[in-house]
A = this chain, B = another copy of it.
Amino acid sequence: MRTIFWKDCVWLIDQTKLPEKEELIACRTVEELIGAIKRLSIRGAPALEAAGAYGVALAAFEREFSDVDEMKRYLVEKAKLLASARPTAVNLSVGVDRVLKKALEGESVEEIRKIALSEAEKVAEEDVERNKRIGENGAKLLEDNDVVLTFCNTGRLATVDWGTALGVVRSAVEQGKRIRVFACETRPLNQGSRLTCYELMKDQIDVTLITDSAVGIVMRKGLVNKVIVGADRIVRDGVFNKIGTYTVAITARYHGIPFYVAAPKSTFDLNKTEKDVEIEERSREELIFCGNKQLAPRDVKVYNPAFDFTPLSLVSAIITEEGILYPPYNF
């Protein structure tokens, strides 16, 4: 099942309920979709691009219009609201803008509806295809009986379907290879526990959950033989990804285990280097509370960066939809 799809309206998997409950949300209006985006029922850059795209289609279908001009004004207005549902998520507005631009070329209400929906479906389809190409390329690096350690969630739930790093695992499994996965819980938001474990179990791919700090023992005992992670941004000298990725990379290097990064070309930002990127710091509350449980003194100082940087010297290969890049990386 896709993370987001169209069937008379927009449907999406409510990720705030996972892993406790599997629920689909039907968004019949742009308002409802914006609410779902704001509540993080859907997240992950590629998935948000599709959400923005489908949102414009929803605007075209959600009511009747007396003429084309009225409809176009309405679409522009709703597009603006959609794009700002999460201001820092650039992918959301990429999806919105692409469908809006195309839809405004239409000359009748019916034509605009048709164009908007077909363009939105294209955005979603392209994401899946891109991920499948990443998967196929990456699967060449995996052998039968490999055990892959992964970090955070880079799967179906962060995209429309298939995933990036987890897409590589899925493609290898599809080719008949037996692949097992160790998923790090990924503190402080536990995307590994909540989402990666959930979606791999759903696909009947063998997954074992560990704490982030158990990476060392798992490698020392020879329980995993490859690492695949995603990327938030790839710059000229390394990879920005979820906090903890760097520690995993160092530990993999110490044990001589290959460390692979899987990401679409849109992640590359090669005019920048490590020092050009400021790492976002997130709320201290994320470490002080877990649900309603208080884990630390309320007034403790916290350092809670969202990402870290892994230098290319620790990266064994980068898997993209266009192929596999190896060191020395001549970007």
Q: Which residues of A contact B (CB under 8 A)?
A: 19-20, 182, 184-188, 190, 193-194, 197-198, 201, 206-218, 220, 223, 243-244, 246-251, 253-254, 279, 287-288, 290-305, 308-309
Identify A305's interface contact among B217, B295, B301, CB under 8 A.
Answer: B217
Q: Which chain B residue shows the least CB distance to A188?
A: B211
Whether B250 contacts A198 by the Cβ 8 Å rule is no
Q: How far is it, in angstroms, between the C-alpha of A287 and the C-alpha of B212 when the chains are bound?
A: 11
With known contacts A207-B301, A211-B188, A302-B208, A244–B216 Cβ distance under 8 A? yes
Copies in the complex: 2
With known contacts A214-B305, A243-B214, A244-B211, A293–B292 Cβ distance under 8 A? yes
Q: How far is it, in angstroms, between the C-alpha of A291 and the C-alpha of B294 when the chains are bound?
A: 9
Q: How far is it, in angstroms, between the C-alpha of A185 and the C-alpha of B190 when the chains are bound?
A: 14
Chain B residues near A213 (CB-CB < 8 A): 184, 186-187, 212-213, 243-244, 247-248
A-B contact pairs, 15 of them (CB 8 A): A19-B296, A197-B300, A208-B300, A209-B302, A210-B287, A211-B244, A214-B308, A216-B246, A216-B247, A216-B249, A216-B308, A250-B251, A291-B292, A292-B292, A292-B293
Chain B residues near A304 (CB-CB < 8 A): 210-211, 214
Chain B residues near A254 (CB-CB < 8 A): 250, 253-254
Q: Which chain B residue shows the least CB distance to A193?
A: B296
Q: Which chain B residue shows the least CB distance to A18?
A: B297
User: Would you list the 6 A-B pairs with minimal beta carbon distance, nearest first?
Assistant: A213-B244, A291-B293, A216-B247, A193-B296, A216-B246, A212-B213
Chain B residues near A20 (CB-CB < 8 A): 294
Identify A303's interface contact among B214, B244, B300, CB under 8 A.
Answer: B214
Chain B residues near A288 (CB-CB < 8 A): 193, 209
Whether B292 contacts A194 by the Cβ 8 Å rule is no
Q: How far is it, in angstroms, between the C-alpha of A246 and the C-alpha of B218 when the chains are bound?
A: 11
How far in angstroms is the closest Cβ of chain B from A196? Answer: 9
Q: How far is it, in angstroms, between the C-alpha of A211 and the C-alpha of B182 when the chains are bound?
A: 19
Whether B243 contacts A301 by the Cβ 8 Å rule is no
Whether A296 contacts B185 by the Cβ 8 Å rule is yes
Chain B residues near A220 (CB-CB < 8 A): 246, 308-309
How far in angstroms is the closest Cβ of chain B from A156? Answer: 15
Whether B208 contacts A303 by the Cβ 8 Å rule is yes
